[in-house]
Amino acid sequence: MLIIGLTGSIATGKSTVSSLLSSPPYSLPIIDADTLARRVVEPGTAGYKAIVEYFGPTTPDLLLPDKNDNNNGESKGGPLNRPALGRRVFGDSPEQRRDRGVLNGIVHPAVRWEIYKALLANYLTGKWAVVLDVPLLFESGLDLLCGTVVVVGVSDPEVQMARLRARDAHLSAEDAENRVRSQGDVKGKVARAESRGVSNARGVIVWNDSDKGALEGEVKRAMERIGGSSPRWWAWVLLVMPPVGVGVGVWNIVVNYLGMRRWEGRVKEEKAKL
């Protein structure tokens, strides 16, 4: 089974690409890290309790009113006020970086476990490919699992921030800029994906600088390249011959790890020249 890592920065159109890939003619299963991240912090979960314990005392508006409170002592608590939590963790101040690290430490392990379970389920049902939709794919190290990484990019950061504010009207210009910066420079993600290999479709870029029609054309071209590098029959070989599947999986991780080390070395060399 081919794992297609899908990433980008906020408001680059990654969700639109994910929607296109989940629909005909592709109809690929999507493992959405954002959806899982919301699920693992729903009221009553261990993640929810950890967030309330850490952020609650210093964030009075952390929780929204509990609509399910029946006054019988059975309430799990009100849902998280995400804009309030976002203001605590998005930004460049030492406190915001610290709090973002705490939040990631709570959410990421739980999300990883859900991702692993979903990947196994799709493999056992004979899927040709699955899309792993993760905004911080490289930063989390989950790109090591992926045979192909697709980055959705926007050339102009101003366009990116304008799209974000149009989508989330409650955000100020400063809030939008902080959220864009928190997910890293999308051009850096483009360069990293390209370093995986463009000719063999291990790194594919989908540019979203125009309208949806142009984006659909970009996605079509990307999937033609990916399908050519990993035919559907290969997924069945990996399913009916588990030792081959395990061997290919290990080989893929090793190749990606070595590529990651080369990338890190390249970044260090460039910083040393400054």
What's the whole-model pTM score? 0.84
Has residue 156 got a pLDDT over 90? no
Stronger pLDDT, 169 or 122, i.e. the higher one: 122
Residue 126: closest CA among 260, 240, 259: 240
Distance of CA 234 to the CA centre of its chain: 26
pLDDT of amino acid 206: 96
pLDDT of amino acid 65: 86
* Cross-strand partners of 35: none
What is each CA distance from 48 to 40, 77, 86, 99, 109, in whole angstroms?
7, 9, 15, 15, 13
In contact, 87 and 172? CB cutoff 8 Å: no
Has residue 87 got a pLDDT over 80? yes
pLDDT of amino acid 241: 86
pLDDT (mean) for 28-34? 95
pLDDT (mean) for 72-86? 81
Confidence of residue 11 (pLDDT cuts 50, 70, 90): confident
pLDDT (mean) for 75-82? 85
pLDDT (mean) for 194-203? 92
Helix-strand-coil split of the chain, %, nearest 5: 60, 10, 30
- Rounded-to-integer distance, Cα 234 and Cα 228, Å: 11
Q: Maximum Cα–Cα distance for the chain, whole Å? A: 65
Confidence of residue 145 (pLDDT cuts 50, 70, 90): very high
Question: Could you tell me the two tokens for 74?
Answer: 């059975």
In contact, 196 and 149? CB cutoff 8 Å: yes
Residue identified by tokens 């899927």 is 127
Has residue 202 got a pLDDT over 80? yes
Has residue 71 got a pLDDT over 80? no
- Rounded-to-integer distance, Cα 235 and Cα 134, Å: 22
pLDDT (mean) for 21-41? 95
Task: Sketch out the chain's domains with CATH numbers.
Answer: 1-29+127-274 (3.40.50.300), 37-126 (3.40.50.300)
* Cross-strand partners of 31: 132
H and E: helices and strands count for the chain: 12, 5
pLDDT of amino acid 245: 85
- What average pLDDT does the chain have? 88
Alpha helices in 125-240 (DSSP H): 137-140, 157-167, 173-182, 186-196, 212-229, 232-240
Residue 8: closest CA among 216, 151, 220: 151
pLDDT of amino acid 20: 97
177-190 pLDDT, tens digit each: 776 666 667 888 99
In contact, 183 and 136? CB cutoff 8 Å: yes
